[in-house]
Every structure is written in structure tokens, then in C-alpha cells.
Amino acid sequence: MCKVNNPNRAGARVLSRRRYLPLLAWLSLLCTVLLPQLAQAADYQSLPPQPALISCSALGQQALNGVADAPVSISNASVVATPKGDFCKVEGTIAPAIGFEVDLPLKGWTQRYLQGGCGGLCGMTRVGISNAGRCGPALNGEFVVSGNDMGHKGSMTGPDQASFGADPQKRIDFAYRANHQTALVAKALIKAFYGQPARFAYFVGCSDGGREALMEAQRYPDDFDGVAAGAPAALFQLQNSLYHAWNVVANQRADGSNILLQNRLGILHRAVLAHCAEGSGVKDGLLQDPLSCKVDPAWAQCPAAAKDSSQCLSAEEVAVARKLYDGPLDAAGRRLTIGGALPGSELQWMLPNSAAGKSMSQDMASLAISYLILPQVDLAMGNLQQLRFDDATFRKLAQLAPLYNAANTNLLPFQRRGSKLILWHGLADTSITPAVSLAYYQGVQQQLGAAATDSFMRLFLLPGVSHCGGGDGYNQVDVLSPLMAWTELQHAPEALITGKLAQPEPDFMAGPPPGKLPAKGKPGLAPPTLHLPIMASSPLAKPWAALKATRPVYPWPQIARYSGQGDVNDAASYQPARSALALPLDFNSLATSLIGPDNQQDTAASAQRLSPAQ
């Protein structure tokens, strides 16, 4: 029978197994079939709540000398009210410029600490708990929660988002230092406030927050007991340069005009769904195993004699689609990054709306290359039309991989500590291709062995889900509940229960979600949006809204297949089936050289330059 913890179960009567056998059988059915979400959400240790021992104002006066690697100053400590009780909100700075916030519940703290990753290029301090919409302690305000601005101030999406790269120290803080130092400060504040350390510490992040999550597990294995890394920008150097630049350049004519536009992607997507097996046994427009489909965009090409091209693609458009599926290639056809967009992701492609328009990929690549990717700021390199896709450019752009990348496969110290890692990625993500997460997972297996990897790390690939959410898939996912169950009770996650909202939420940034395929004769399609984990600052998780359907996602290489019985909208009606793919996979890319053991380096800022730390 599944375990549904009850904090008051100690005084419950012990039932006679024989007398109540029919009842036990019914309860078992209820747990395993009818209430899979409740079972997952309640599976964690019952820890007694600890009250604060000093006032919030007294906490603000704490001396934090020697806690971090630089002086720490507290600028504010005040009590703030939430629907689940009062918190002590502590704000401050870790020198030179890491802004942090730690929110500590005055009552009801159940001895857990959670640090949230910051999406995009960050630049603002917010606390928040993402992807935890069914997790009781997170919904009820039982966590101490912290966040930081990654060492700089600025917009997460505006034209100034990358300008901090002119300061070498800010680059280091963004790359790896800010989260580690924030964890040290938050833990010191917890000890001072409650008189004891946290029993369990968690890190949850997506996008760059996912990279930050992996960075913590790789560089600082003692910081957290459980880590959830969503859609991580593990190969930061390439994803934010060659990958997104290719999405722009491969779609342009010699005169700079764009070829394949947003309102044509529904045609391609419809053709892909007609040729690639969905895999679930249910016709729902979601590819469970897109990596196993050998996509051919010529499926959507107009016949030679066609007079009406409203429902088919030109040869020129097909050629662009083929390049976007391939990802960046050099003149000899060698892959420079780990793949491109996956089949089934077409509605999420970051393409312009008009022949003269700009795409999100253009801004992402241009700003990152100009300010962050190279050792020195070089605005001229941000001209993507001048970027060459060859071995020399690859080497130039990969120089700072030991600083930014989170692709160190030696997780042995993390494993030996008993910590757990959930790696998850949407299969329709076109901001960070999910093939990177799969390649990293394979690298850890090759480094530690499959059995050892499985003992502390699981990979979940979510069909139809875009970047950190959105898309046409089951994009409501609670990763914190299964992470807690694994970390605290050693219950390894057999599946993530994902959901689809009855009323879809608006996507991040302006504009409606892509929605349904265009009807025949109506090829228009709303532009996709980037689903960065940006939310209002709050120490409480946002609960799931009403769901119209649930679906399990099994650890890769298993996929969800309809059992043939039960409601197709109920997760209980699905069972695991093995993917057509198996490790090891040949990613045939120069980028695979950046995934390996002990490939990171501490860096120092000296004379306004980056150099290896002494």
C-alpha cells in the first residue's frame, strides 16, 4: 500500500490485518490508482516544527563575520505577513555585490531549507519555490526560503541584461559563487534564529536556475541534500552562442531577410505528427520519444506543380527546417553543439513573425556573445551575421567553459554524501535543447556506472513541454515532493505525476500560448514565449490550479503508454514502456568534449581580468 504520512499517526489504533483485509485492499486500490498525487505529495519525514528563539530584529543584528568568503551586511530584517503565517525577511549583501534575501517562518518551521535558482541572466533578488504545487510543506510555509541576484542588478530580459559581463567579478559571482555564498549565509541565519541547523537543504531551479542547481551539486556537494535541475543550461558557453545564433543565421537569406516564419510552423508540426509515432497509445499530439523519430521536413514540402502553398512548405523553407533540426554544423557537416530542435517542438521554435523581424534567439545570442561568452567584452562579436560556424570559432567560444558550464560528470562526492538529484527537461524545449540533459546524464553514467548513477540521479523528459513549462504537454510538474521523498525516506521516484490545467495560464512575456494547430486555410500561429521561472517574490509555493488531466513521466529511458483500460486523462491508466533508444548514444558533436569529469576551474578577477584562482 502506498504511504500517506500523517503527523498524528502515532496515537492511531493498530487495525487487525485479518479483520480489515477488505478495507485494506480498498485502501490499497485508492492509493495506487485513485490518489497517486496525494501519495507523492505526502511522502516525507514528519519533523516537529521549531519556533524562532530570537526576534526578527535581533536576527538582523547578527554578526556574520567569517560566514562567507567576503564581508556580509544586513540591510533589512522585518516581519512580513503571508496567508500561512509571518516570516522574518532578511535582506543583505555579500561583498562585493551579491544581493540576497532569506525568509524564515516565525512559527511552523519544519527544519527544512530551500534555495531557489534564478532564471535568465538574473539581476534581481526574489525568493520563490517553483515546481512544487502539490508539496504540503512548501504550500504551508514550513520552509526557510532564500534567493539572490547572482551578483548584479539589472533586467532579466531587457537589453541591459548581459552588461554586467564588463565586470569580471560579477561574471564569477554569476557563474558559481553567488549561490554557494548565499547558502552559507542562509544556514548561519537559520542556526541563529532557531538554535539549530536545517535537517534537510534543497535547491530547485530551472533554465539558468537548472544550471545553478547542477553547479551546486558539482562544485559544492555539501551544500544541499536534494537538488532538482530543470532544463539546465549546462553547456552555457555553446547554448547561448552557437545554438541560438544558428537559429538566426540558418533562417536568413543573403540579404538578411528571414525565410521560415512563425505562421508556417503549424504546417511542419502537423506533418511531423503524421509521420512520427506518438508512443503513448493515445492520439494527443505529444511525442513520447521524439529522439527516436528520424524526422524529414520534406514531409511538409509542396509538390513541384503545386499552385497553393498555404498548407505546405517551399523547398527553401524545408531546407531551413532541416538545419534547425540538425543544429549548428560546420562546412564539413560536423555538429558543433549537441543537436538542435527535436521533432514535435515546432510550435515552440523561436522564429520571427515577419521577413524583417527579430527573434528571441537573436537577442539571446548577440548579448551573451558580446558581454559574457568571451574572456573580454567584444561588442563586434555580437554581430551574428559575421559569426563563423567552424572549429576555430568553437574553440574561441568555449574558452570560459571551465567557468560557466555545469557539465562536470564527477558527482561522486555528491553521491557519497547521500544527496539526490532529479534532472528534468521538456522535450519541446527550444531554448535549451533536451539533448544536452540526456548527454550529461549519459556522461555521469559513463563516469560512475549505471547502477551507481541510478542510486542518486534520475532523468525525466516531459513530452510536449516547452522551456520550464508551457507547450502542449502536461506542463504542471511537482519535482519537490518526489525529491523530498527520495532524500528523506529513500523512496526513489518511480514517476513524476504531471498535469494539464483546465484553464491554461498565460505564458511568461506578452502574447497567448501557441495553442492548437492552425485550421486548414488558417496557418496563423501566435509566437512562442520563453517560460523563465519568474514569479512574484514569496516564500510560499503556488498551488496547482484545477487540472483536466494527469499523466505520469517515468525515468528515462521509460516512456508512458496507455494500458488500454481506464480514463486516458488519468495518470493511473498508464504504465512504463521502454524507449526505442538506449545508452550509450553517439551525439557526434564537438560539444561532447565539454562534458566530462573535473572540467571546472575556480576563477579570480585580477586587474579587471579573469584568471585561474591561486
At residue 472's C-alpha, the angle toward residues 462 and 272, to 5°, is 90
Residue 57 CA to residue 72 CA, distance in Å, equals 17
Structure confidence at residue 10 (pLDDT): 33
Please indicate, yes or no, if residue 64 is contained in any of the structural domains.
no
Closest CA to 116 of 106, 105, 104, 102: 102
State the pTM of this model: 0.90
Structure confidence at residue 136 (pLDDT): 95
Cell of 318: 524545408
Please indicate, yes or no, if residue 207 is contained in any of the structural domains.
no
From 386, 419, 447, give the residue that closes a domain.
386
Alpha-helical (H) ranges within 195-297 are: 208-219, 236-238, 244-249, 265-275
Residue spans of the chain under pLDDT 50:
1-41, 508-534
Burial class of 87 by CB neighbour count within 10 A (0 to 12, 13 to 18, 19+): buried
Please indicate, yes or no, if residue 108 is contained in any of the structural domains.
no
Please indicate, yes or no, if residue 157 is contained in any of the structural domains.
no
Strands (E), 276-350: none
218 — phi, psi (to 5°)?
-85, -45
Q: Do the beta carbons of residue 434 and residue 339 sit within 8 Å?
A: no
At residue 590's C-alpha, the angle toward residues 585 and 594, to 5°, is 85
| Distances, alpha carbon 47 to alpha carbons 69, 226, 373, 490, 514, in Å | 32, 17, 45, 16, 43
CB atoms < 10 A from the CB of 450, how many?
12
Residue 559 CA to residue 541 CA, distance in Å, equals 28
SS3 content of the chain, % helix, strand, coil (to 5): 30, 20, 50
Please indicate, yes or no, if residue 403 is contained in any of the structural domains.
no
Q: Do the beta carbons of residue 459 and residue 210 sit within 8 Å?
A: no
Give me the domain span that covers residue 312: 245-274+286-386
From 368, 386, 404, give the residue that closes a domain.
386
Please indicate, yes or no, if residue 449 is contained in any of the structural domains.
no
Upstream peptide bond of 328 is cis (omega within 30 degrees of 0):
no
Closest CA to 89 of 72, 102, 74, 107: 102
Structure confidence at residue 608 (pLDDT): 82
Residue 442 CA to residue 595 CA, distance in Å, equals 10
Structure confidence at residue 529 (pLDDT): 40
Q: In what order do the strands lie in the sheet with 496-501?
A: 476-477, 496-501, 547-553
From 335, 363, 386, give the residue that closes a domain.
386
230, β-bridge pairs: 206, 424
477, β-bridge pairs: 498
301, β-bridge pairs: 313
Pairing of strands 226-230, 420-426: parallel
Closest CA to 311 of 274, 352, 283: 274
Residue 272 CA to residue 261 CA, distance in Å, equals 17
Please indicate, yes or no, if residue 603 is contained in any of the structural domains.
no
Structure confidence at residue 537 (pLDDT): 87
- Total count of domains within the chain: 2
Please indicate, yes or no, if residue 368 is contained in any of the structural domains.
yes
